[in-house]
Amino acid sequence: MTALVPRRARRLASLAEALLTPHGMDRYLELVDPMLVRREIRGLVTGVRRQTPDTVTLTVRPSRAWRGHLAGQYVRVTVEIDGVRRTRCYSPAGSEHDGTLELTIKADPQGLVSRHLNRTVTLGSVLGLSTADGEFTLPSPRPRRILLLSGGSGITPVLSMLRTLAAEKYEGDLVFLHYSNGAEDALYRTELADLARRLPGLRVVHAFTHAKTGGDLHGFFSKEHLAEAAPWYPDAETFLCGPKPLMDSVREVFEADGIGAHLHTEEFAPPALTFDTENAEGQVRFARSGREVANSGKPLLEQAEEAGLSPEHGCRMGICFSCTQIKTSGCVRNAKTGETSSEENEEIQLCISVPVGDVEINA
């Protein structure tokens, strides 16, 4: 990309950086307009609509440092709430061939950021963004048969895949199976119907878990649902995102069929991590700040926060790697996988790493 920028412009930019040392150009540009920054990515909200009472769909125009996303990836969205920056991961719902970002955010009753985004974001709001990240993406070349399976607000990464495939005029077999409580909670219903008309190979199936009528399928996920929606599913690549109970039951069916390798998943709800706070022992030392606490058995991020530190973090569930720090010594257990590791000077994610005995972190 830098090669495309004329050399003279680059020279001017580095002269400006030298003149504006030590703060750099962005710290001045953002005072004129927050969207002018060059090194950070920001997003200007250009559209706000509500499909259901507890969700908001934002159209966001990213600043020039944005490099696009692949369908299924997520971005870290940062907002300031009462003076504190908060970051959460959201998957853009739009096609990867679209230059704008579309975010659909469901207000979690306990969710600080999701409620804030639902209540306070208006046209012209500016959000902090990261580059897109994540391995939950469509393979290239595209598989011959694809099942996109989602529940609730987990629709966003798979809808992005669907819109991408539609933009590519995908010709294979394609089923979009989506679970919602009932018709009033079914996100993107009109758009999906519209897509189904335009793309011959696509079949959209709405499953309602809490309604007996009105959908194509009713009740919770079952193997019968799967057989009815996409009978060829063992030959397909399946992309799944949704609440944990849905994810678990789909995984169970695929494992039982011995086709777990064809199932690709993205976790949004925090995994059920187990912590043994009764038998925790050892000391946790945060080297840079010199703070030391007795190991409480909770993840290191929480222990650091309880010690008065505020390490950078994002998802708090081991997805986004915002909280990665160097563990200089000691042993930690990964609360997601249960694996322990006592390597020295190893990068660990604070939010899902639990100390086993004495641990020193360079934070």
Could you list the residues that contact other proteins (CB under 8 A)?
15, 18-19, 21-23, 27-28, 31, 80, 82-87, 288, 310, 312
CA 6 to chain centre: 35
Can you tell me which residue has the tokens 């930019």?
13
Tell me the closest approach of the beta carbon of residue 137 to other proteins, in angstroms.
Answer: 28
> How buried is 154 (Cβ within 10 angstroms: 0-12 exposed, 13-18 middle, 19+ buried)?
buried
**What one-character DSSP code corresponds to residue 155?**
H
For other proteins, give the closer residue by CB, 28 or 220: 28
Give the dihedral of Cα atoms 198, 200, 201, 206; nearest 10 deg. 60
For other proteins, give the closer residue by CB, 2 or 310: 310
Tell me the closest approach of the beta carbon of residue 30 to other proteins, in angstroms.
Answer: 9
For other proteins, give the closer residue by CB, 14 or 342: 14
For other proteins, give the closer residue by CB, 25 or 207: 25
Tell me the closest approach of the beta carbon of residue 312 to other proteins, in angstroms.
Answer: 7
Tell me the closest approach of the beta carbon of residue 287 to other proteins, in angstroms.
Answer: 13
Contacts of 281 (CB under 8 A, 6+ apart): 295, 357
For other proteins, give the closer residue by CB, 21 or 213: 21
Ramachandran angles phi, psi of 356, nearest 5°: -115, 100
d(CA 153, CA 105): 7
Tell me the closest approach of the beta carbon of residue 113 to other proteins, in angstroms.
Answer: 12
The full DSSP string for 250-283 is HHHHHHHTT-GGGEEEEE-SPP------SS--SE
Query: Are the CB atoms for 334 and 352 separated by under 8 Å?
Result: yes
d(CA 38, CA 315): 25
Tell me the closest approach of the beta carbon of residue 360 to other proteins, in angstroms.
Answer: 18
**Closest to 146 (Cα-Cα) out of 223, 239, 70:** 239
Tell me the closest approach of the beta carbon of residue 47 to other proteins, in angstroms.
Answer: 27
For other proteins, give the closer residue by CB, 80 or 306: 80
For other proteins, give the closer residue by CB, 310 or 345: 310
**Closest to 91 (Cα-Cα) out of 163, 29, 28, 36:** 163
